[in-house]
Structure 1
């Protein structure tokens, strides 16, 4: 297949991961005989069944069919597709290199550019030139050495670029800022891209630069009323205060950050009947021996082989209740069972990653707040931390999460629920009102001093962790529930949960969040307000940038 043909497929179907894309290319070449770009227009909807989901199939047909195709014929061709689930697979991380990019922005080379150049407001982008020659000397050295830009150099460069933009357009919109930031980051990712300390890209990579550029535009135009006119926002639906919504369909947020959300091929040597027999065997085993049977090798193997069967139930619509899932897959409600499932789903050992991150990154977070003029609530927590007699390992992790919640102005009970040290599953379910979305129940005199843990979902205790396990194990099970059971982040804790995801667990999809609530409570006033649709939670990006800048300044 020609390289131009492959590039066209990547442009039209960016959602496909590498394995799915390779399988599609092999199908088009080996089975259909496609060799060149012109052949794409000859592919029919029936040719793609079993290889692309309906929405992606429609997009393929729409992109490559001749424009003169009769509208009725096209409708008939597309309407024959089966009504399958339409959740998209997670995007592949964009690979950026510090190559020499063209100074002039391409007018129609990229998806955003093509949209922008077609509108009068952003037509200037097609001939806009980024002022590379005005880049500060220290910043030039950073780009040559593939080093991070220092905060002051980054701010200076932002002003230079925005001034150049304003010469073409008095009030560049958000989309224009994103397009220009994308080109800057594409040319010098090591210097400008949003990345964690492991060098992994955070989200789309250019989110914070684009946001800073737009803020600069608004600052320059703060007294220019004529250039600040905005279109009225459309109304949005209200949602449950806890963000608990019964879904009647699957969306991209369900597969968000997953690499194996819904496998389609049965394990070798297995069929539906054999998988059901394995499920029944494990259910009977659990009834006879309890959760300790999860350590048996045959349970591990059966859970692995029935993973596809488990996902079939977990991804069904409407979703089954936690009680129904537990009845069918009881070992999924053990630490080992959930952790193994999470690893197949995301490729990450959630317990190992949580333990390492809470210790190393937890200490950095505490150090940051100790030296960054904390407010009274944070000062009080730091004092409580200093006086606590809890084991250092758990205390560090708990304190780090609590400090983040206070920074984001999120209430403790949106993640943590405090219970008596001697409380049991039955007493907690009887005496406490447990919310629908997951909570980490802390058994102790205070949240910071807790030494035992449970996790609740849908108003009941779903996990009782063994007493020898630490806070890292508890947090990993709590966090894993959102992914394994397709649960969206509760809006009152969405910033903290996304930071745990991106900073601690290093799950970094390019765009979107696992919280789609349209409304929420204002962190300042407590009033119900509309939530902005953001590619990444802006509070998370701001904190990570401040943490990095603080650590750089500490080295001076």
Structure 2
């Protein structure tokens, strides 16, 4: 434990404050960086019986008497040192000690690990924050990425922690995050320590609060390895990578520590993927290969030693070490049995009768299963959780599968995997003294396991069955492809073309269309060469060939089956939970008026999804004047990603709609909202466009639940550097699970 935290842990809070509460045997506390504003605030407000300060034993009247030095017991050197040793000064131990170091550490976690904001954003918020007159004279200092502590004076650091929830609270995406809760706990502790009056029971509570804080902090941010083992690990790395910069070496050591590496004996359990956040792929492979080779050599020596005859002296037996922990077989998942005998009777009744268990019973089931798993394997990975979830869903598909109105979402077990993983992490957080793998923020050495071009291609092929045709159809030639292409250009200028003929031509030229798109042909050239690709008749054919899904038919069938259930859930259940959704429901009811029909329901559905996921409507829908012509739309006002242009103040009254891609209007005659939604969504797949982060949840929910595209791996969302991508958006999974529960409750 560091010295700055040992000051809190070595002495009980009761000891530190007994004198200040009972006023029996202490002396006035001073600090060489004592801030007059703090003292002034205390003395002006005052405490009971006219005390100058809760650290001071004499009253104001005694202090202003003839000789204040004659008041109280006579002070000797021994008494002075005894009192000072037991007294915790706020300036040194809190504001420039624990608060300064820990707050800087937590901010680094929020920025580097969680990516909630950047140092620039934080410092901008600090400068733009509207401080009160009292706080304005001691504004917090800027936070430096390189500094291990806050750079401000005591009063500035105190103000910073006190105002931190107001300064960055809107950037905190997960208020239940353990480190954010730890930050708030530190704030509560400091608030109590700085209180102008504190009772004996509150001192006891503060004692408990500090002990909990120290334990939580130690679990989330464990101390460094001991020097000898640290040196062994460093030398092992430098033997393989002698030219590794010192800065990268330090980050690599931190990463290994966060993964649980304590000695060099843990190296064989490290995988290449664990190191890719710090090292280049080749560097990571060299390290892993060297460590595995060393481990194999060690095993060979061990086996030869076992086969060599040894004397049966007591010393030989005592020198052979026995493992302190049981060795777990790597294939434990294959033999894992679901602990059905430990499930509650109510849960077993649901499972055996094919009914969906209530959320409470499902959580109880997850707790029991995770307890059983971790009794076998102390640190199971996601792959193990996935295999267990597969077993459970396969045994009880009607009760545990992810379904909406009978349609299986994805492979059907993602929500159960999510719950198992969340429970495992919660259990490990309480027992394992480590945090999640840290990410390296340096652009110079920050690498991914897959090159950028290849990673983009992986995202482009997401959900596709025929993304790139390697060979031209046997019945086609380059000349025939060009002839059909020219014919479609001619037909696009006519108003009475045959739809069937266009569909046939689009299907026959799919090979050439894909080649032009994949090689990155400019959008304007695509519009000129393949005009029907941006109309409903042509995009439907291209989308069908690309994904195997009928674009509009699939969407309409899904709306018919699931739309009512989704709207009912949003309007009744969730509007009661979230004020923003309730406001949207009321607003849409007013805008829609007496209008009825499938198209109006789809508008409600899309707008409510945007409200539910708290995503930006302007990224999906751009409103212009009702009489606005395509050439009048300002390109700079449009988003880069596919966007529906609504002519009017409301999509309920707009006729027709337009579609823009890359700030260009590619179709200005879309007859209805359903066609507009289908064309907008189809554009992402046909033109290799990634989902924007601002619409990630809404588009993925539409993709999985209404267009029935459910890949088991990968993502269509544009990636952020150093940000882990999940196969299924957790927020989408949560809504799917809630809808499934709502469906079962509705049928009971």
**Same fold? TM cut 0.5:** yes
> Structure 1 pair 148/337, CA: closer, same or farther in 2 (3 Å)?
same
1:163 paired to 2:371: yes
- Which stretches in structure 1 are left out of the alignment for 5+ residues? 1-118, 239-245, 520-529
1:451 and 1:159 map into 2 onto residues whose CA distance is: 53
Pick closer, same or farther for the CA change 1:199–1:357 going to 2, 3 Å.
Answer: closer
Alignment partner, residue 271 of structure 1: 477
Moved more, 277-286 or 322-331: 277-286
1:543 aligns with 2:725: no
Q: For 2:523, which of 314, 322, 327 is the aligned residue?
A: 322
TM-score, normalised to structure 2, is 0.51
CA distance in 1, matches of 2:733, 2:443: 27
Structure with more helix by fraction? 2
Distance in 2 (alpha carbons) for counterparts of 1:412 and 1:133: 49
Select which of 472, 493, 507 maps to 2:695.
493
On the 8 A contact 1:170/1:227 being kept in 2, the answer is no
Alignment of 1:208-287 (within 5 A): 208-221=415-428, 223-224=430-431, 226-235=432-441, 251-286=457-492
Tell me the number of residue pairs that the alignment of Structure 1 and Structure 2 aligns.
411
2:336 maps to 1:134: no
The residue number in structure 1 matching 2:539 is 338
> Would the alpha carbon gap of residues 321 and 374 (structure 1) be closer, same or farther in structure 2, given more than 3 Å must change?
farther
**Structure with larger RCO (C-alpha < 8 A, sep 6+):** 1
Matched with 1:206 is 413
- Is it true that 1:304 corresponds to 2:480 in the alignment? no
Match of 2:253 in 1: none
Q: 1:458 deviation in Å?
A: 0.9
Pick from 479, 495, 503 the counterpart of residue 681 of structure 2. Answer: 479
**Kept after mapping to 2: 8 A contact 1:354/1:475:** no
Quick one: distance in 1 between partners of 2:505 and 2:417? 48
Residue pairs, 1:65-84, within 5 angstroms: none
Matched residue, 2:586: 383
Hey, what does 2:620 align to over in structure 1? 415
- Displacement, 1:234? 4.3
| Pairs within 5 Å for 1:325-404 | 325-372=526-573, 373-388=576-591, 389=593, 391-393=595-597, 394-404=599-609
Contact kept, 8 Å, 1:495 with 1:539, in 2: the verdict is yes
Q: Equivalent residue of 2:666, what SS? A: strand
Q: How far does the alpha carbon of each residue in 1:25-53 deviate from its partner, in whole angstroms, 9 at most, with x for none?
A: xxxxxxxxxxxxxxxxxxxxxxxxxxxxx
Q: Which residue of the partner structure matches residue 42 of structure 1?
A: none
Report Cα offsets for 1:155-201 as digits up to 9, x if no partner: 2211211121232344544343233223323333333232332333x
Aligned counterpart in structure 2 of residue 446 of structure 1, from 650, 653, 657:
650
Q: Which moved more, 1:148-157 or 1:433-442?
A: 148-157
List per-residue Cα deviations over 1:128-147 (Å, max 9, x = no partner).
44313323444444444555
**Residue 272 of structure 1: how far off its partner (Å):** 1.6
**How far off is 1:518 after superposition?**
1.2
Compared CA separation, residues 247 and 420, structure 1 to 2 (3 A): farther
Cα 1:227/1:424, change in 2 over 3 Å? same
| Residue aligning to 2:203 | none
How far apart, CA to CA, are the structure 1 residues paired with 2:469 and 2:713? 23
Check 1:353–1:126 CA distance in 2 against 1; reply closer, same or farther (3 A cut).
Answer: closer
**Is 135-144 or 337-346 further displaced after alignment?**
135-144
Q: Secondary structure at the match of 1:507?
A: coil
Unaligned residue ranges in structure 2 (runs of 5+): 1-326, 445-451
Structure 1 position 454, deviation (Å): 0.9
State the secondary structure of the residue aligned to 1:493: helix
- Other structure's SS at 1:536 match: coil
Q: Once the 2 structures are TM-superposed, how far is the Cα of residue 325 of structure 1 from its aligned partner? A: 0.9
Distance 1:350 1:284 in 2: 25
Residues 235 and 314 (structure 1), Cα distance of their counterparts in 2 relative to 1, 3 Å cut: same
TM-score of the two chains, using structure 1 as the length reference? 0.67
Q: Cα 1:253–1:153, aligned 2, differ >3 Å: closer, same or farther?
A: same
Change (3 A) 1:306 1:278: same
| Partner-residue secondary structure (3-state), 1:251 | helix
1:63-142 pair list within 5 angstroms: 125=333, 128-142=336-350
Equivalent residue number for residue 386 of structure 2: 178
1:317-366 CA distances to partner (integer Å, 9 max, x unpaired)? Answer: xx112111112111112111111221222222212222343455333222
Q: Does the C-alpha gap of structure 1 residues 180 and 453 become closer, same or farther in structure 2, counting only changes over 3 Å?
A: same
